[in-house]
Amino acid sequence: MRKTLVIRIWIMIGTVAFITLLLIWRLFNLQITHGEAYKLEASHQYVNSKEGIFDRGNIFTISRNGSKIAAATVRTRYVFAIDPRRIEDAEATYNAINKIVQVDKEDYNKKASKTKDPYEVLVKDIDESKAKELKALDLPGLVLSPKRKRYYPGDSFASHLIGFVGFDENNNKVGRYGLERYYNDILERDSSNLYVNFFAELFTNLSGTLTGEKGEGDIVLTIDPDVQVFLEKELAQTKERWQSKMTSGIVMDPQSGEILAMATTPGFDLNNFNNVSDVSFANPLVSGVYEMGSIVKVLTMAIGIDTGAVTKDTTYNDKGSITLNGATIHNYDNKGRGVVPMQEVLSQSLNTGVAFIANKVGHAKMREYFIDRLALGEETGIDLPAEARGMVKNLESPRELEFATASFGQGVAFTPIETIRALAAVANGGYMVQPHVVRSIEYTNGLTKKFDYTDQKERVFKKETTDDIAQMLTKIVDEVLAGGQYKKEHYSLGVKTGTAQLADAGGYRKDAYLHTYFGYGPSYDAKFIVLLMNLEPIGAKYASETLTEPFMNISDFLINHLEIPPDR
């Protein structure tokens, strides 16, 4: 009996000690996480007790050396006001503050004369350095009220990816686009009244720790800030040179699905999005759907080789055009080449060649690979909002024509993110990966959730198939592209260009094109894959003219930045 009582007492002591330690741990984390906000709330309450101090989680990128760099954070600003009751010399006070912050004298005099009013705002928004200078004056009657705002240190850096915080229909501040929207539940803080919620948060998050519901936190991206900056620079230069309507790009690790960079130009200043009128805030690389053109020929060739319908040495008689279901399909130059091997189908981008492959593969297998295996027409599940699905309805048709046009990227349309995921299966040895832009979530309770999808990869192509494709695409760089002038002595690269006519009511426009460009390296052990798009460039018909230089510049940068060893 006595022994049982002792055991129960020790169990109770252990339980109390465990809960006490958890409370101390939570309290420590809260002081670090919200300490600054509590301090600001204290100084803010006597000015505006109804409006809480804004708080929100951070969005970080991580440089190659492991340093965290804030892409979205919270910055303290100040409302500058006066208490007319306490001002001793209105003229002298004005002269002193006007040297630091320009204030309209007539407005100041009007407000300073209200000697029964304790609070009159002079400037609604000043930075911390100006606030410190004003505090240093040590003049009676000056009031500095802190406020916190969402701040994006990079201004337009990764603007379509990050998104911003704005007001919803209920006048609440929420994430409106990009990561701010997708991870709003993680980033959002209940800042309406920090004091009231202190103990609620303490015990709520304690409960969350015990139950696995972790709540608030910061997010850490897969985005490499140096790669992102370089990509944005190349896209901006390309758009300016060719006066394109839009230029976009994605850089991804084809082995893990981690997005290293994602950008569209024109972008917009995240700190001044209210002044933007001519740029869409939606991310076209996730929510836009496009006919991708000839880069899809790489997938058709891979399907043909993987099914055994063709080999890389198979030949066919290219007559320059074929007629299917009453419609004629031409090569880009309307010319026939005679009997040619499959290499020339990719090297010379022959529409008749991939139509030949599609016919050999058959409707059922083409449909299986495009829709079931490569999941074209499905969301990738990338952690960004408003992802669209590709349009593959033509592959439900029984006609040869729809499969022939799909084989060279017309009549079917995909989002850029699902396109690069499908092409990554060619670059990484045959596996489908999960594209994602967040590496980890660092919760305010001290726990961290890391995202790693490498154990979820599904094989869609045989390794032998992707080796053959790598050989064919490498030959394009080494021998075909600009006569081989882009061949690298110590590195292998594989590329394919695409030029798609833009659809119009009843057909295709003859004067408007979407240029696409895809490539990866090293060819047989890819460390990066790049997809570039250039919408309606002026003065160039083919993607090889507008996107080869940007791709090569990006590849050179990545080889150096990622410290990729030579492969030949």
Amino acid identity at 353: G
Mode of pairing for the β-strands spanning 59-62 and 68-82: antiparallel
pLDDT, residue 288, reads: 97
As given in the structure block, the two tokens for residue 463 are: 């390794």
Q: Work out the number of other CB atoms within 10 angstroms of the CB of residue 91.
A: 12
Asked whether the beta carbons of 435 and 420 are under 8 A apart, the reply is yes
Please report, in tens digits, the pLDDT of each residue of the chain (568 residues total).
566 666 666 667 766 666 666 556 555 555 555 555 544 444 444 444 445 678 999 999 999 999 999 999 999 999 999 999 999 999 999 999 999 999 999 999 999 999 999 999 999 989 989 999 999 999 999 999 888 899 999 999 999 999 999 988 888 899 999 999 999 999 998 754 444 444 444 455 544 544 444 589 999 999 999 999 999 999 999 999 999 999 999 999 999 999 999 999 999 999 999 888 888 999 999 999 999 999 999 999 999 999 999 999 999 999 999 999 999 999 999 999 999 999 999 999 999 999 999 999 999 999 999 999 999 999 999 999 999 999 999 999 999 999 999 999 999 999 999 999 999 999 999 999 999 999 999 999 889 999 999 888 899 999 999 999 999 999 999 999 999 999 999 999 999 999 998 987 767 888 899 999 999 999 999 999 999 999 999 999 999 999 999 999 999 999 999 999 999 9
As given in the structure block, the two tokens for residue 460 are: 């869609």
* Euclidean distance between CA atoms 239 and 268, whole angstroms: 15
Using DSSP, state whether 44 is helix, strand or coil.
helix
**Domains of the chain, CATH where assigned:** 14-220 (3.90.1310), 225-266+285-561 (3.40.710.10)
Asked whether the beta carbons of 72 and 162 are under 8 A apart, the reply is yes
Asked whether the beta carbons of 189 and 216 are under 8 A apart, the reply is yes
* Euclidean distance between CA atoms 556 and 373, whole angstroms: 32
* Euclidean distance between CA atoms 261 and 249, whole angstroms: 8
Classify residue 267 as left (phi > 0), alpha (psi -120 to 50) or beta.
Answer: beta
Chain-centroid distance, C-alpha 285 = 8
Asked whether the beta carbons of 159 and 229 are under 8 A apart, the reply is no
Instruction: Give me the half-sphere count of Cα atoms (radius 13 Å) on the Cβ side of residue 158.
Output: 32
Q: From residue 339, give the alpha-carbon distance in Å to each of 26, 211, 297.
A: 74, 67, 19
